[in-house]
Structure 1
Amino acid sequence: MHAFDILGDPVRRRILELLADGEQTSGAITDVIRSEFGISQPGVSQHLRVLRNNGFASVRADGTRRFYAAEPARLHEVDVWLDRFRRFWDQRLDALGTELARGKRAARTNADRSSKGTTP
């Protein structure tokens, strides 16, 4: 299955967001997904299985608990695909950075003038 087929589902994307913060128990994941999406525990388990079977998540057992973790390799595949499109937003982000720096510089200049009792 292609990475975007897996990530096209909002429940699976949310599960990956949870796993991006670190390893999570299946129970903790289920609690969040059930509250946000209103799906059953078996439904959450199916999404976890899809993520695991397609290399986006791994699972380890600790007694009766199952701990899930994100697997970065498949996400790297998405990153590589997106790389060709970064030029569309990198230029805009650079321009935004320049404007933010100008604004900070102007604010410092105005603050300096105010503290010296002069006006612009």
Structure 2
Amino acid sequence: MLKRIWRGWTRAADADAYEELLRSTIFPAIVDQAIEGFLGIELLRRPLEAEVEFVTIMTFVDQAAVVRFAGPARDTAVVPPAARKLLSRYDSHAAHYELKTTRHAQGQGSPTA
């Protein structure tokens, strides 16, 4: 299993609009593609002094699934034009990590949104 991690930043004034775009449009569009081997996407948000940082973590079963999502240049960031308008800057490449283990607190599962 692979985790695809990518970061982008907005001005504080654009942060809520960017999060709403992700939740209402971009994430559903990714899910609706029904990409074989895509398991899900998570969104993290953190306020900084002058910006707000966003991290997306996508989960795929293997490298082939990542290529089905991102194309042959699998490390290249996939940033739709509507998102680029709200981002002040973003990573041009995503990082991929192999998930080696997950451990939850006893009696706890994964949190849901």
Compare relative contact order (CA 8 Å, sep 6+) and give the higher one, 1 or 2. Answer: 2
Structure that is richer in helix per residue = 1
Which has the higher Rg, Structure 1 or Structure 2?
A: 1
Q: TM-score of the superposition, structure 2-length normalised?
A: 0.24
Q: TM-score of the superposition, structure 1-length normalised?
A: 0.23
